[in-house]
Amino acid sequence: MRRLEDKIALVTGGGAGIGRAISETFAREGAHVFVADIDGDAAKTVADAIVKANGAATAYAVDVTDTAQVKALMETIKGAHGRLDVLVNNAGIGERADFRHMDDESWDRVWQVNVDGTVRCAREAFDLMRASGKASVINLSSVMSAKHTRQMSVYSATKGAVSALSRSLAVEYAPYGIRVNTLLPGYVETALIGRYLSNPMIAKALLTQTPLRRFGEPQDIANAALFLASDEAGYVTGASLNVDGGMGTTL
């Protein structure tokens, strides 16, 4: 028996990096995965790869900052399946800049994607998840939510908000059989931080903060997401799980 057999899952930002690994892992474990991404071509590439590997997936182009688009996505899932068992709020962006030089526009954009996107999807998916009866929401925070690093103010602030929001949602959604948990990755090799890791000096400095002395791979995060999505985690809600090679312990 596969661990997500017959479950309906939605992964935002599923077209690349961690979201792609989560989408492919969930599909291998039997879920029908809605791969949703602002980059519709990337979502299609991932969904096509899943189907080619005999999995079930639907590509969907969506900008999580747009309420009408998110509502339309939920309507599509409702029409096809009538319920949603797993929601992974993974879509996220970063911005490295001196706090005092950040303009409103760049601050708002990161906030809109990382926080409001998570809020919007968790809110608009509520009826579908209630229809599931035992649904799981997994929000991507970051070890940066608790770490003080130069030029990461907006990213850290948004991830702190995601962590706090997740705890509140865990309480509010519990009566409806919806669990809400948070993943806190450390440094994971994806496009998001690729330009820092490609600088040997920076990469070396970042590794010294990681007791396991390696960067994470998207699959490391997908493995943890699989547990939280599965019924094995049926008594786990409001939890924050560091998947960071021990980086959180060095803060």
Q: Does 63 bind ligand NAD (CB under 6 A)?
A: yes
Give Cβ neighbours of residue 163 (< 8 Å, ≥ 6 apart). Answer: 139, 141, 145, 182, 184, 240
Q: Which lies closer to ligand NAD via its Cβ, residue 146 or residue 233?
A: 146
Q: Of residues 7, 57, 187, 237, which one binds ligand NAD by CB under 6 A?
A: 187
Pick the piece of the chain touching ligand NAD (CB under 6 A) from 52-60, 89-97, 124-132, 225-233: 89-97
Site string for ligand NAD, 18-57 (x = CB under 6 A): xx-----------------xxx--x---------------
Q: Of residues 55, 92, 245, 248, which one binds ligand NAD by CB under 6 A?
A: 92
Site string for ligand NAD, 154-183 (x = CB under 6 A): ------------------------------
Alpha carbon distances (Å) from 125 to 74, 155, 163, 249: 6, 25, 19, 34
Q: Which lies closer to ligand NAD via its Cβ, residue 55 or residue 117?
A: 117
Long-range CB contacts for residues 16-19, cutoff 8 Å, separation at least 24 = 16/42, 16/190, 16/191, 17/188, 17/190, 17/191, 17/192, 17/218, 18/90, 18/140, 18/185, 18/188, 18/190, 18/218, 18/221, 18/222, 19/88, 19/90, 19/91
Look up tokens 């490609």; give the residue.
198
Tell me the pairing of strands 32-37 and 56-61: parallel
Q: Of residues 49, 51, 56, 93, which one binds ligand NAD by CB under 6 A?
A: 93
Pick the piece of the chain touching ligand NAD (CB under 6 A) from 74-82, 84-92, 124-132, 222-230: 84-92
Q: Does 90 bind ligand NAD (CB under 6 A)?
A: yes
Is 155 noted as a catalytic residue in this protein? Answer: yes
Q: Of residues 7, 15, 136, 152, which one binds ligand NAD by CB under 6 A?
A: 15
The active-site residue, picked from 155, 173, 176, 196, is 155
Are 81 and 32 in contact, with CB atoms under 8 Å apart? yes
CA-CA distance, 215 to 206, in Å (whole number)? 9
Look up tokens 């000096």; give the residue.
201
Q: Does 132 bind ligand NAD (CB under 6 A)?
A: no
- Here the tokens at position 167 are 């705890």
Q: Does 137 bind ligand NAD (CB under 6 A)?
A: no
By C-alpha distance, which of 187, 248, 173 is closest to 221? 187
Site string for ligand NAD, 192-221 (x = CB under 6 A): xx----------------------------
Active site residues: 155
Note the residues at the interface with ligand NAD (CB under 6 A).
Answer: 12-13, 15-19, 37-39, 42, 62-65, 90-93, 113, 117, 140, 142, 185, 187-188, 190-193
